[in-house]
Structure 1
């Protein structure tokens, strides 16, 4: 597989200079060797053992991965109360919302544990331990092995290690590659399956500023939500049951009301998803011109259509709120990333590093023999990107675009069973589809999906060469004279997959002929057949590409043997440390390191979807009713910035002061540093956080949920 199935982390590993404390996503299990001295010099009062310990309670025991790493949360009470971001709980809030109980619009607060709402499928995972297993994993690897042989040996050993680590336990484990296949670590987790929604502010606080303020500073967004993790009476993970009890964690974070000053130590622990800081110049060019462009072109059309429908009614807004939010986030991110990479001249900087590496390799015959092909193998993967370009657009326009293709493709098993005449399989597949209908059609509008389908098929047609068109494009050209709107209209008119009652009737008596004539289903088959073909073509350079990456990283580590390295993020727990601070984004502009509640009043646009301000908030503001949550300057701080190194997956991560106390919740990065996943910019990169005092003020003063405040350990 080339660049799509295998994420390039490309050019080199992160080289961490002791002088730059804000860059680095460190494994907590290694800070006793690499970082603790510098952290303590900067203001950390805890020991390495108090941050990460296997045998004793430590900070790591209060940090959880939500849904195996999509977001981060932290335990803030001895009764399993979890704090995370509003956007991390957005799907659950939307799922529980209805016209009669609009929790997105009005917020939700459980005043008793009996009122907390279950969320089937949602999980939280605690890290039990981390272990370097490189020697065991590579024990059978030799230099003479082919890529396939090497990969097979590594997989076999990894499975053995995982099995041994979890035998006779309820834990799960993963052996994960770090440093591009040069090191391997075992991560052992305890995962809980009963996670209930406890509280969320209204969207006018939790998503204040909407898409306009997303990735921007200054911010005034109360981006937080509360969940609770439950366990069986024995304290172990269990499926939802009324008999379950709140989980008692080994550690929960005390909450500081003391605030912060510019320059104060700040640490973030969480589960960053992925970074590609060391992509080659070739890889970065591909990201900008192919991946990001496909995302921008497709999602601009999709978001316009969704927004129009959402404005038609309260029901429509609730239905598509989560879908719109998911799509818009990385639409804007891709625009910002391209802008940042150009502004920072990242490709040119990468070329300079590549030249330095090449000169170092060529200075020694031994190094030439060992690393001489590394960059050549990486570069060759980018010689012809037609396959990848088509794949990028196919995913954005027809896999993640209209819902009808992905949903109807779920009937392929039924289709095959009907062709075989296998009655048992027919019944089983029909029942499986039937079980999905309520959830799918609850938040679905066929007319909107038809418009999305037509617009995005047109985007694909305009941006991909004809040799990569799905087979049904011929019908669009010949029968519909190239009119994708007409094709989509007919497709939705005839398909059984656009209406719940029609689909139920079909599933009660499924016929092969129906699926053979169903335009949406047959189009979906063509889309996923093409996806498979492109995947096969892209797999041709997988061995060379991964070998090149591994050798290049090994060479960089040898080239800079006196430096300290950290691996790219890969949804495993990481720690990053830095300081609270302001920044200067451009000439003549100086941003303060914090915002206050006054910003809500200044930004207010009454009735606006993004900048409406709740009446209760305004009442409290004008009365200056901040209670114990006011800063010493008399204002209520809403958000603040630090230079912690974060990325997607860190959403909801705790911001912790030098005493191990919670001072904020990370929720965003700044627009000027959208290049950060590829190139960290120490002068510009900022982590945007909700002030914990604003969180507590909203819970206490705004919502009156003092029952939740009473659970917490408050430090004044």
Structure 2
């Protein structure tokens, strides 16, 4: 398989076939010399492939990091200064905030290194190199292996290869599969755990438009935040210490104030999370009708309850701000995805491809033996797992993630084991660990709100899921009574030690196995978790069948279309995408410009509505036209702009880089009309929404007066 893909890559037929546009694809960096560089240079890029990705020399990839666990960031100074999105830093900013020091509401700007605030639990990760190890893996695999045996062999081999490379170094080394398991790469990372909060605008700028504008264009959001990575005196990763120093990175991105015009080259580097563009029609129907439905229905109910509570109290709003943002982001994404997939008739298009694939496999007995049962097997596997997969997703959304007290109560499992073993030392250690977890949990928890959520979501599960798949604690609920779920939730919160920090701490002073076992939240949590494990087991065989035949489907597509180069689905490894600045037509007679300005912020202002509030200082700067050197050549201050780069979740915070290799924006969103993008790229409508770097610098400089941060950046006038 690897040799076949290499042959196709060398042919470079992609550039001449016209099969797909250049702006579609999230490309692996080690392959850009073979697959992409000529096309990118023809579009205006002035860099070589070596300047983008190099193992032996400083390159663009050295300035791009995994920020936290699910975003991208970039180095913008030789002192470890990192830019990312405001919504990427949101969780850390919320964690560091209090009612007295509300950095979400008021913003924050460190005037010196000493003022920067350590962000516990936050890390940044640098990619050091990637290496194709497909041959090493495939040499130990055979066609007569079952899929389970194949996966076990791959896991064992991957560990051996990674361990041999890591040795006694501090690097994080792993082997990841690509192209559905047809290709494998060794990846070496360096992780830094001392990251400090440097600055962020108030949410009225960094989250302007909030959920109403999320996934929409036009946008007017200053979606950025600033952090700094620290190392020991030798430049190596180290846990937080006052003696650590700002990291001197191998490369940082110069920042361009030159602006852009329609048609300009734009490149992103980042860590897109997950796409599924090779799904069959049955997989797409499952995504729409089961996975997305399981996000839309429960989260909509939960968020409505949260929203009412947040509106009643500043404290609750701060406690639930980050939770609500995380929940609503993919709730709205799922709604938009289903809408887009229907509007674009994606299922029908996939069915046509599948018909073509099946006809191709019937051309010879060899192809029939190899690929003939791929599609029938996929269809059957998706049908077999449907009821269990639906229940599995509803358990997660209604209970394990939906009802906070149930998920938190499961933190006591180690304590229960220690109590069962009657090991006093382990009991003491487990109790202490639970106390530490409780401190973080209760900081952002409001029990009366969670009680309402429990009642509503347990009822929803009852209404949507087959009775054979209820957790055992449902026997305690008077499901035949109108107030049965409300009464059950009330009982749980009245009697459980997990509903109140004082009760829990008192229990942990002298924990009892009998009391823990009888605790209504813990027993319900255990019942839920046991059901979840059972559901996972019931889908295991179908999952294996889907995994095996998905791999064969991708291999078959490549064999069926030898003149087409296929990019790999995103899997949160570093990828490059390229395209151009441009506008789009979302519907008949409507044209969206490729940029927005500060004037639009003022036009959207709604006094009294926190989603569209505008700080007084920003209004004064606008009225005075005090934009400094950050204004466009037409005298306006640009805020956001659109390109046709191919991105998805995980790309948030990715640098948007111009033809010269300079930073001119931060990617932060996609557009509503193309929410199908994780499944099907829409070449005419797909847009990447970005913050203009000049707006970022304007806010730092003119709005915040944090000139110290501007001074350490490399600015290209």
The TM-score with structure 1 as length reference comes to 0.97
Confirm or deny: 8 A CA contact 2:14 2:563 kept in the other structure: no
Match of 2:528 in 1: 527
C-alpha separation in 1, matches of 2:424 and 2:313: 43
Q: Deviations over 1:547-570 (max 9, x none)?
A: 211111111111111211110000
Uncovered stretches (5+) of structure 1, i.e. residues with no partner: 1-12
Match of 2:56 in 1: 55
CA 1:502 to 1:24, structure 2 compared with 1: closer, same or farther past 3 Å?
same
| Shift of residue 17, structure 1, vs aligned partner | 6.2
| Shift of residue 481, structure 1, vs aligned partner | 6.7
Report the RMSD for the aligned CA atoms in angstroms. Answer: 1.3
C-alpha separation in 1, matches of 2:269 and 2:517: 52
C-alpha separation in 2, matches of 1:435 and 1:473: 31
- Whichever structure has more helix as a proportion of its residues is 2
Match of 1:604 in 2: 605
Match of 1:371 in 2: 371
- Spell out the pairing of 1:105-504 with structure 2 (5 A cutoff): 105-384=105-384, 385-477=386-478, 483-504=484-505
| Worse overlay, 377-386 or 522-531 | 377-386
Secondary structure of the residue aligned to 2:216 is coil
The TM-score with structure 2 as length reference comes to 0.96
Q: Deviations over 1:213-258 (max 9, x none)?
A: 0000000000000000000011100000000000001110000000
Confirm or deny: 8 A CA contact 1:357 1:556 kept in the other structure: yes
| Shift of residue 401, structure 1, vs aligned partner | 0.4
| Worse overlay, 620-629 or 286-295 | 286-295
Q: Deviations over 1:359-380 (max 9, x none)?
A: 1110111101111111122111
Secondary structure of the residue aligned to 1:220 is coil
Match of 2:71 in 1: 71
Match of 1:86 in 2: 86
Match of 1:622 in 2: 623
Q: Deviations over 1:147-169 (max 9, x none)?
A: 23322222222111101221132
Confirm or deny: 8 A CA contact 1:480 1:487 kept in the other structure: no
Q: Deviations over 1:423-458 (max 9, x none)?
A: 222112111101112211111111011011111111
Does residue 1:693 correspond to 2:697, yes or no? no
Confirm or deny: 8 A CA contact 1:298 1:456 kept in the other structure: yes
| Shift of residue 16, structure 1, vs aligned partner | 5.9
Q: Deviations over 1:363-403 (max 9, x none)?
A: 11110111111112211112231111111111110011011
Confirm or deny: 8 A CA contact 1:376 1:548 kept in the other structure: no
C-alpha separation in 1, matches of 2:437 and 2:515: 20
| Shift of residue 507, structure 1, vs aligned partner | 0.3
C-alpha separation in 2, matches of 1:88 and 1:386: 35
Does residue 1:516 correspond to 2:517, yes or no? yes
C-alpha separation in 2, matches of 1:531 and 1:198: 41
C-alpha separation in 1, matches of 2:546 and 2:666: 38
Confirm or deny: 8 A CA contact 1:387 1:537 kept in the other structure: yes
Does residue 1:97 correspond to 2:97, yes or no? yes
Confirm or deny: 8 A CA contact 1:138 1:153 kept in the other structure: no
C-alpha separation in 2, matches of 1:597 and 1:588: 25
Confirm or deny: 8 A CA contact 2:52 2:59 kept in the other structure: yes
Uncovered stretches (5+) of structure 2, i.e. residues with no partner: 1-8
| Shift of residue 412, structure 1, vs aligned partner | 1.6
Secondary structure of the residue aligned to 1:131 is strand
Confirm or deny: 8 A CA contact 1:86 1:207 kept in the other structure: yes
| Worse overlay, 164-173 or 454-463 | 164-173
Confirm or deny: 8 A CA contact 1:274 1:568 kept in the other structure: yes
| Worse overlay, 673-682 or 409-418 | 409-418
Confirm or deny: 8 A CA contact 1:268 1:575 kept in the other structure: yes
Does residue 1:613 correspond to 2:614, yes or no? yes
| Worse overlay, 658-667 or 119-128 | 119-128
C-alpha separation in 1, matches of 2:26 and 2:110: 36
Match of 1:4 in 2: none
| Worse overlay, 311-320 or 334-343 | 311-320
Secondary structure of the residue aligned to 2:176 is strand
C-alpha separation in 2, matches of 1:440 and 1:222: 30
C-alpha separation in 2, matches of 1:487 and 1:154: 47
Match of 2:6 in 1: none
Q: Deviations over 1:139-185 (max 9, x none)?
A: 11112222233222222221111012211321111100001111001
| Worse overlay, 142-151 or 647-656 | 142-151
Confirm or deny: 8 A CA contact 2:302 2:457 kept in the other structure: yes
| Shift of residue 479, structure 1, vs aligned partner | 9.4
Match of 1:551 in 2: 552
Q: Deviations over 1:487-525 (max 9, x none)?
A: 101110100001111100000000122112211111101
C-alpha separation in 1, matches of 2:538 and 2:74: 43
C-alpha separation in 1, matches of 2:49 and 2:698: 32
| Shift of residue 657, structure 1, vs aligned partner | 0.2
Does residue 1:671 correspond to 2:679, yes or no? no
Secondary structure of the residue aligned to 1:174 is strand
